[in-house]
Each structure stands twice: as structure tokens, then as C-alpha cells.
Chains A and B, each alone.
Chain A
């Protein structure tokens, strides 16, 4: 079964017709060539596919596209503005917060959503709290200390 849907992705509106089995992750990667969001485990356990759906971080691999008709998506491709890196992207480079880079797009989108959530909660983001709130993003290279440092630097 196919479905027609409209998504606003990184500021651009897309009208699409997709099989209802298509996840947002496959739609981004296979239909639109936006390969920033990564397919790691494809089961919601690694966070490499994390994008922002209507401003909130979510696992794109578990989200059926048809169920998010009308949503506004932000992927890692939409973070930089006019060739200027998002402050968090710059901090990741500054702090050497990745090795292979496969988890990085998910880490970036997750951290942006996480910072908003913490602001709403009135939470203090010390290193332990950042680690807890970022536990949905797994890094096989073990760059966690520098990921935490980059995030801490961005919100300082």
C-alpha cells in the first residue's frame, strides 16, 4: 500500500508517495539521498538514526513515515546555516568528539534535542546528567568523554 505525504525537511517541503512500510530513516536515505542519518542497528538501540521530528529528537528507524505526515524534520544536513557550522558541530570538531564519525549525526541531533529538553525541565547539565540524557546514542569508538565535553562547552 502506498501513501501520499508531505514533509518539511530542513526547511524544504517535499511531497512524496511511499510504501506505508517505509520508515523515516529509509525515506531520508533511500528516497531523498539525505544519508546523514545513519542506519546502525535499525532497532532503536544505537541512536545513529536520530533526527528531530517537530523539534524533538527521535529514532528515525522506528518511525513509519506515513504516521508522521505533515511533520517538520531536521537532519544533520540542516544544522549548518549558510556554510556556518552549528555551534555544536564546531564544538565536536574542537573537542575531537568522534573517531569514525558514524554515530556523529545522531549524537548532534540528539544533543540539540536533549539541550531543549533539559531547558524545559530546568535540569542542570553536569557531565553525569549529560551522559544519562545521551545514553540513547551509542559510540563504538568510545568517544563519550569528548562528546560530553563538546556538549558541555556548547551550553556553557
Chain B
């Protein structure tokens, strides 16, 4: 591991100033420390933000939840109000990583974790995300687990977070403190598609510090379904987070986000449009899934994800509305 200077942030403003000056924020370290060992990340200055006072889960006057960025994944998944009002979020968190990792990992760090594309993690290989302009071997190489939606010729990697997929379905906003003060960024909207600049995972700038995530309206009728290559402790081959609000036999509101298919958590707006106000029938679910996946551009070895996504989406919606 390359040498670096370490400091514990005195307060949020000091962290932002250090970040704007080129420092890298350290949360739980479960991804960053690993990337430093691999030589993928080589920060010269680490500013530890994990001890800043952003470790509370608070109820807002509207009955929503505001989650501090330093809250550990375990504590968020286990929180009684999360389990009661946002089961999709609790399920997504528990579907990710392992118990040990969830005890270390923070909410802010979970959102900002990097792709697990094997070329990105291997410094002996080209990668446009790690070394802009060097090329993307995954386009022609090992890409079974890569994107089918929204990718570019420059990058076909997927975003690895389960939590972010749940947040995209719930509708959340990220509170950010930056050099020019506070602002909020919606999820989806924090993460960006690769386009010609896959080195940028998100719309954040240097020095932008995530301080909290505020959840949208409670989503008591919601579910997270994850498909992976082994029963536990693996990244998603495909996942779906779904939130429904049924009324009088029809679907008043439906929000769907997909994981393991794109460079961002993928909000399935085309599928939602088909379902909004519609009756909850298998035919409609199939129509919705096909509407969303009509835009899919699978790679040589991951075309299986298209029917997989279709079938899991249909079944998940059926179970959620049964």
C-alpha cells in the first residue's frame, strides 16, 4: 500500500475543506482499504469522517427517516422503523456483503463504493474508469456480470450496491455539504451513466461530503429480491426493489428499481408507466417488464440477464401484490 497521511476530521467543514484540497474521505473502509491494497486507490491524504456526528437515524415531522451518513449498515437494517416502514431497505442491506462487513460499512460509503468489475480492480489491465482513455477490456472480455442497460463503449460496469437500489425505489435524497454549502441530490440522480467519462461514478465534486440520506414516503408494501451466483455473500447478478401502493384493486403507485444491470441503480420508469393505475395482473406485469427491457443491449455473454430480469420482475410484482 502506498504511503498516505491520515487525519481524523475535526468537523464536517474541515473535512470538506480537506476534500476540496484533494483528500480522500474514509468511512468504514471496507471498499477503500481494499482498493488501496490493490493499488487501485492511491490517496495521499485520508480524512477519516467515520467519527463525525452523522450517526443518528431520526424521524422527521412528516414521518420519514433521516439517516446519518456514518450509520453502519447493520444498524440501519435492524432499525425498527426501517423494518416497519421500509422493509425493502432492510432486506436490501441484509442481502449485501456479510455480517462482518455490514458492521463496518457506512451508509455514505455504501453509496460511493466502486464497481467490482475485475478489470477495474486489476491495475495490470486497462480500464477507462481507473485510467481514463486506456480502454475497456470488459466490452470484449469477461462481462457475464456486467451491464445490459445504459452502458457505453467506454464502460460496461455495474454499480454494486444493493442499498442504493432500494433507495432508488423508495425515492431518497442525499444531503451533501460542499465547498459552496449544503445541497440535496435525489436518488436516482446521485449516480451517473458512464458515457464518455466513466471515471466519474457520481455527480459529486471533490470535497462534497455526504452527511445524510433522507427517505421518501414510507413504503410498507415493498420488497427486495436479489439473484446471485451463490446463496449468500455475493454481488447481484440481478436484483429488483419494488414499492407498491394498491387502491381499489388497481395499482395507485408503483416504483421499481433494478440492480446488477447498469452503472447506476436503474429506476424502471417505463415499467412504472405501464403499471400506474393498472390492474395487478400477470399480463400487465409482463408488459411492464418487456417495456423496460426493450431498451436492453446485452453483451456477448450476459444476454441471459434479459429474460432473467423479465421473469424475476414479473414474479416479484406478483408476490408483492398478491
Choose the segment among B28-36, B163-171, B249-257 that binds chain A (4+ C-beta atoms closer than 8 Å).
B28-36
1/0 per residue, CB under 8 A from B, across A127-144: the answer is 000011111110000000
Among A1-39, those with CB < 8 Å from B are: 1, 3, 20-21, 23
A57 CB contact (under 8 Å) in B29, B50, B99: B99
**B37 nearest CB across to chain A (Å):** 7
1/0 per residue, CB under 8 A from A, across B17-49: the answer is 000000000100110011001000000001010
Main secondary structure of the interface of B (DSSP, over half): mixed
A-B contact count (CB 8 A): 86
The answer to whether residues A44 and B101 also contact, given A64-B29, A67-B29 and a CB cut-off of 8 A, is yes
The reply on A152 being an interface residue by CB < 8 A is no
Main secondary structure of the interface of A (DSSP, over half): mixed
**A62 and B104 form a contact (CB under 8 A):** yes
**B6 and A43 form a contact (CB under 8 A):** no
Interface size class of B (residues with CB under 8 A): 20 to 34
B6 CB contact (under 8 Å) in A1, A59, A120: A1
**A62 and B29 form a contact (CB under 8 A):** yes
Among A105-156, those with CB < 8 Å from B are: 110, 113-114, 117, 120-121, 131-137
The reply on B311 being an interface residue by CB < 8 A is no
Contacts of A132 in B (CB 8 A): 231-232
B97 CB contact (under 8 Å) in A64, A133, A136: A136
Contacts of B8 in A (CB 8 A): 67
The reply on A56 being an interface residue by CB < 8 A is yes
